[in-house]
């Protein structure tokens, strides 16, 4: 299917990044958010990043202007009626996503594909909120979207081949590498990454070594660009805990139990970089 116009729902760090790469790749993009402040912040962030790309010589002045011209903000989900595809990147909350998909199903034209950028919630269940489960799919971008090359393309139980192919081709058009993944808790990326991070936290909890030393082991010993505890701080410890709980509940296997130290930090409000304190301190 030929995609001309898309809507991105949620203008936070992921939604704004997705809108940016889509507008740069030649698609007309409507960016929607329930919060006007988030929408303004999202659009301003895109303009700033496009300007920086221009200054670095990665984008011509013409291409920057064309991308800006293709981007518009929207204040109602009803605007989905003019779109061929919607990519939802609102908060990671099943009730909110189900409600958004129910409305999108009502407003979007019959041919439109509805995609979610969820990092852990089941696509099959989100699809069941609509009358077009064959046109619902996961499109899991990585953060920061303009930089990271991977897109996990997640097939729900009823996702059609045509929907899958359209989304896969879109990922290529966005200069990303799509990887096909089936709909199981954590998909592939977080199923592998989060237990590693959780194990690193157990190693701190059990006194195996300090956070700095564990990160050094993984950087120098495994050639990881960033240690698991620093990465956890960057992702957000609340998000890490949430994903471990999705894995634990989804598989019913005790190997995914979240480390008590992770729970303790989250309860204390130590959520990592965003709150200034996690396994490392980011104050000042």
Ligand X SMILES: NC(=O)c1ccc[n+]([C@@H]2O[C@H](COP(=O)([O-])OP(=O)(O)OC[C@H]3O[C@@H](n4cnc5c(N)ncnc54)[C@H](O)[C@@H]3O)[C@@H](O)[C@H]2O)c1
User: What are the residue numbers of the active site?
Assistant: 119, 140, 152, 190
Q: Does 33 bind ligand X (CB under 6 A)?
A: yes
H or E element that contains 98: helix 94-107
Q: Does 146 bind ligand X (CB under 6 A)?
A: no
Q: Which member of 26, 38, 54, 68 binds ligand X (CB under 6 A)?
A: 38
Structure tokens at 273: 């970089």
Distance separating alpha carbons of residues 237 and 274, to the nearest angstrom: 10
Q: Does 171 bind ligand X (CB under 6 A)?
A: no
Find the shortest distance in angstroms from Cβ 154 to ligand X: 11
The residue with tokens 């269940």 is: 125
x/- track of binding to ligand X for residues 55-74 (CB under 6 A)? --------------------
Q: Does 84 bind ligand X (CB under 6 A)?
A: no
Distance separating alpha carbons of residues 106 and 100, to the nearest angstrom: 10
Looking at beta carbons only, is 118 or 230 nearer to ligand X?
Answer: 118
Q: Tell me, by CB under 6 A, how many residues bind ligand X.
A: 24
Find the shortest distance in angstroms from Cβ 190 to ligand X: 9
Nearest residue (beta carbon) to ligand X: 12
SS3 154: strand
Radius of gyration of the chain (CA): 19
Q: Does 96 bind ligand X (CB under 6 A)?
A: yes
The residue with tokens 């507008």 is: 23
Looking at beta carbons only, is 84 or 88 nearer to ligand X?
Answer: 88
Q: Which member of 59, 67, 71, 100 binds ligand X (CB under 6 A)?
A: 100
DSSP letter string, 156-221:
-TT--HHHHHHHHHHHHHTT-EEEEEESSTTTTHHHHHHHHHHHHHHHHHTTSS-HHHHHHIIIII
Q: Smallest Cα–Cα separation from 7: which of 67, 84, 65?
A: 84
Residues 6+ apart with CB under 8 A from 167: 85, 113, 115, 137, 139, 153, 178
Looking at beta carbons only, is 64 or 74 nearer to ligand X?
Answer: 74
Cis check for the bond before 127: say yes or no (omega within 30 of 0): no
Q: Which residues pair with 71 in a beta bridge?
A: 29
Looking at beta carbons only, is 11 or 50 nearer to ligand X?
Answer: 11
Q: Does 75 bind ligand X (CB under 6 A)?
A: no
Residues numbered 221-240 forming contacts with ligand X, rule: CB under 6 A: 235
Q: Smallest Cα–Cα separation from 204: which of 248, 256, 245, 260?
A: 260
Residues numbered 13-32 forming contacts with ligand X, rule: CB under 6 A: 13-15
Q: Which member of 69, 143, 169, 216 binds ligand X (CB under 6 A)?
A: 143
Residues numbered 187-206 forming contacts with ligand X, rule: CB under 6 A: none
Looking at beta carbons only, is 192 or 220 nearer to ligand X?
Answer: 192
Looking at beta carbons only, is 133 or 272 nearer to ligand X?
Answer: 272
Q: Which member of 24, 74, 117, 159 binds ligand X (CB under 6 A)?
A: 117
- Binding site residues, ligand X, CB under 6 A: 9-15, 33-35, 38, 89-92, 96, 100, 117-119, 140-141, 143, 235
């Amino acid at each position: 299917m030929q995609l001309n116009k898309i809507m991105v729902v949620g203008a936070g760090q992921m939604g704004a990044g997705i809108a940016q790469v889509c507008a740069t790749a030649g698609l007309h993009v409507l960016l929607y958010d329930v919060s006007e402040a988030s929408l303004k912040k999202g659009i301003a962030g895109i303009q700033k990043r496009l300007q920086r790309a221009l200054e670095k010589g990665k984008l011509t002045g013409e291409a920057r202007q064309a991308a800006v011209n293709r981007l518009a903000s929207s204040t109602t989900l009803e605007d989905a009626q003019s779109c061929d595809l919607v990519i939802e990147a609102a908060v990671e909350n099943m009730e909110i996503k189900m409600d958004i998909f129910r409305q999108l199903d009502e407003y979007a034209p019959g041919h439109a594909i509805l995609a979610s950028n969820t990092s852990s919630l089941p696509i099959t269940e989100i699809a069941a909120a609509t009358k077009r489960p064959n046109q619902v799919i996961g499109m899991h971008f990585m953060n920061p979207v303009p930089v990271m090359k991977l897109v996990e393309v997640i097939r729900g139980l009823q996702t059609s081949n045509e929907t899958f192919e359209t989304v896969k081709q879109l990922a290529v058009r966005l200069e990303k590498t799509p990887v096909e993944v089936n709909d199981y808790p954590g998909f592939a990326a977080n199923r592998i990454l989060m237990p590693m991070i959780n194990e690193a936290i157990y190693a701190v909890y059990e006194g195996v070594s300090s956070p700095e030393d564990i990160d050094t082991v993984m950087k120098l010993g495994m050639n990881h660009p960033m240690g698991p505890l620093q990465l956890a701080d960057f992702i957000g410890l609340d998000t890490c805990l949430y994903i471990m709980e999705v894995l634990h509940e989804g598989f019913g296997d005790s190997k995914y139990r979240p480390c008590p130290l992770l729970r303790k930090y989250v309860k204390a409000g130590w959520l990592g970089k965003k709150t200034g304190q996690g396994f490392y301190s980011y104050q000042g």
